[in-house]
Chains A and B, each alone.
Chain A
């Protein structure tokens, strides 16, 4: 994996006539994890929306590998996102959901392999409707694993997960960073991810 870099310069965001943050600068390089903290309503989600390119910042720019993100389509080649909702279709099976995700991106792992890694082996033919909240999160994680996406953007990835699943999730995040990936996430929970990998922004 080549070295990738996400850089934010002088970002500011106004929502509903309220300044959420301004002059936000950071640089995130391959192998680093950015943790965005802050109380509810501080603008964590708005910041993620800007980083995913859904929302235009009030001012400031974003650079992906030193190129300004104007054409988001190129940036999206490298970016994966898990929001509050997992982006899974209830009435498709787990495998169908992953196959759909793969057909929109670059395939890396096989579906069976990815599902096995997140501990969902044997659930391939199960409709997502019949899976628990935790299993759905794991399936969303499997989606990240089976497509080639250097940058992961995760909005509250640990909600509705039990302790073991959180551990698993953190492991994959760590591995991803160690393999040269980048991770941006918001979280309420304390993480056990080593601080050497971690950068924090407090809003």
Chain B
């Protein structure tokens, strides 16, 4: 008789979430559609002047990605909370922080990775240069996990509330500020032909900081929301 290893538990949580997502695969398209539509709104509101769109394209894509992430992360623990499997996840001999990390990883795979595939297309539609699109992808790759990790804290804190949605956005958006700044200025720098390695290293640092630190408050908040 031996307890399952931490790695087994970690992968079991990811696997379960992926299977669940597959069974609800029609819903996977929602964040993507949202992302594309928000981006479409900007040319409609600003006019289709190529120089203007080109200049603000990174900002548009990043804000859209941020909103799409915000929208999808809301459901990170919702279903588990409603059907009682969150209690099951908390009551394991394994560190809850690690299982939280598994949940966030699954969320990232399901909601952010598809964005990475569609973002270049959006970049082209906004007349971005192809090498700038490469940098944009890198920033999305490094930045979106941070959004999910930070979002997890706010979701866990507002889980027990009936109208948590708007409050959750208020909690989380100020915390998104640094990553938005670093990401969009990295792309800006690439557009003006400056080196971007400094920006990207900074984003790497934030990513690792987020991976190590954010699961702790999320786990604490999850336990609290069960009380």
Contacts and interface: CB of A to CB of B under 8 A. Distances in A.
Complex contact flag A–B (Cβ < 8 Å): yes
Interface of A: 49, 52-56, 73-74, 76-77, 79-81, 83-92, 96, 100-108, 148
Interface of B: 1-4, 8-9, 12, 16, 19-20, 23-24, 82-85, 87-96, 223, 226-227
A81 B91 contact: yes
Contact of B223 (A54, A103, A107): A54
B3 A106 contact: yes
Contact of B23 (A73, A79, A91): A91
Contacts of B226: 49, 54-55
| Majority-rule SS of A interface residues | loop
A73 B84 CA distance: 18
Contacts of A102: 4
B20 A89 contact: yes
A77 B1 CA distance: 12
Contacts, number: 88
A148 to B, nearest CB: 6
29 contacts: A54-B227, A56-B227, A73-B93, A73-B94, A73-B95, A76-B90, A76-B91, A77-B3, A77-B93, A80-B91, A81-B87, A83-B84, A83-B87, A85-B83, A87-B87, A87-B88, A88-B83, A88-B85, A90-B83, A92-B19, A92-B20, A103-B4, A104-B9, A104-B12, A104-B92, A104-B94, A105-B3, A106-B1, A106-B4
Contact of B83 (A76, A79, A89, A100): A89
Given A92-B19, A101-B88, A76 B223 contact: no
A85 B92 CA distance: 17
A105 B4 contact: yes
B20 A103 contact: no
B160 to A, nearest CB: 11
Contact of A104 (B24, B88, B223): B88
